[in-house]
Structure 1
Amino acid sequence: MSTNDLILTYLDIWNERDSAAREALMTSVLTDDSLYSDPDYAGLRGHAELSKAIGKAQQSFGDLRFTLGTVIGTHHDRALFTWRLGTVATGYDVVEFTGDRISGIIGFFA
């Protein structure tokens, strides 16, 4: 999978409402011990913790969906990109790769 494909699939995780389907997406692009942090959550480790946080966050999203803005840059084992949540929110994420999967995500709200 290309870097762009990994990022798009990661955003699909945030859009997936079915927990079993979300877990399948997570398995395809996140390491088992992936680490997630954003202004609302610090140090979520692994698929179960992230999935629980996503399910909780989705309750306030309504029908809004995440889309990719721009992949600003990539180097070595990291990428920086922008995202949009419908027309109401934007942000930046830095992802870190281990092999062909994402092992760390740091999110920022704009």
Structure 2
Amino acid sequence: MTTTDLITQYLDIWNERDPAARLKLMEEVFTEDVFYADPDNAGLRGHAALSEAIGQARDKLGDLRFALDTVIGTHHDRALFTWRLDRVATGYDVVEFDADRISSIVGFFA
């Protein structure tokens, strides 16, 4: 699986409205103790905490969907990429990998 594939699967998690399906995807994409932070969420840890935050965001976002914009660069088990939320918002995320899973995500809103 490529870095781009893994990032796309990460964004698929943000687009998943069903909590059970979202947790299943998380098990495939994230390490068990995944770390997540963005301007709205400071230091979430683990699938359950991140799934809850995504569920709350999904309730507010309705049918809007996240999509990968550009993988800006990768090095040393890290990647920087931009995403877009339909035509409403954009942002940057830095992800860190542990083997073939994401272990850390730090997001920024543009």
- For normalisation by structure 2, the TM-score amounts to 0.98
CA distance in 2, matches of 1:62, 1:34: 25
Q: Which runs of 5+ in 1 are unaligned?
A: none
Counterparts of 1:21-100 in structure 2, within 5 Å, are 21-100=21-100
Which amino acid letter does the alignment assign opposite residue 25 of structure 2?
L
For the residue of structure 2 that corresponds to 1:64, the secondary structure is: coil
Q: How many residues align?
A: 110
CA distance in 2, matches of 1:23, 1:55: 11
Which amino acid letter does the alignment assign opposite residue 93 of structure 1?
D
CA distance in 1, matches of 2:86, 2:60: 13
Which amino acid letter does the alignment assign opposite residue 104 of structure 1?
S
Which amino acid letter does the alignment assign opposite residue 100 of structure 1?
D
Q: Which runs of 5+ in 2 are unaligned?
A: none
- For normalisation by structure 1, the TM-score amounts to 0.98
Match of 2:9 in 1: 9
Stretches (4+) displaced over 6 A: none
Which amino acid letter does the alignment assign opposite residue 93 of structure 2?
D
Which amino acid letter does the alignment assign opposite residue 107 of structure 1?
G
Give the % identical residues. Answer: 73
